Amino acid sequence: MPETQIVLGFDVSLNRVGVAIGNRITRDARPLMQINSPDKQHRFAEIARLISAWEPETLVVGVPSHPDGAPLPNTAFCLRFANQLRGRFSMPVAEVNENYSSVVA
């Protein structure tokens, strides 16, 4: 896949996945869509469609934790999701600490 400088970001919960698109050159990011389904197959089919359409060079998954780094109940779920992305799409997946991301936004 060519270097596009496009990044797809995922904010994951049990019933939905928020998807954002970013550009590393312009340092711009915006919400793209929300996948409203607890069904894993449906989620990954939508993600495959997005990867095909946007051709990102990297995927990013927000991983929640307490300010001291201790895991939250959803932390393991998000890390598993990141590993599933790696396995299904064979592309770079970055895990980012999403502490205070709502404050920054």
Q: Is residue 72 part of a domain?
A: yes
Q: Is residue 1 part of a domain?
A: no
* 76 has a pLDDT exceeding 50: yes
Helix 75-89 and helix 40-54, axial crossing angle in degrees, nearest 10: 60
Give 7-62 pLDDT, tens digit per residue: 999 999 989 999 999 999 999 999 999 999 889 999 999 999 999 999 999 999 99
DSSP code of residue 25? T
Q: Which domain holds residue 60?
A: 6-104
* 3 has a pLDDT exceeding 80: no
* 67 has a pLDDT exceeding 90: no
Q: Give the CATH number of the domain where residue 46 resides.
A: 3.30.420.140
Q: Where are the beta strands (DSSP E) in the chain?
A: 6-12, 16-23, 28-36, 58-63, 93-97
Closest by Cα among 17, 53, 61, 22 to 35:
17
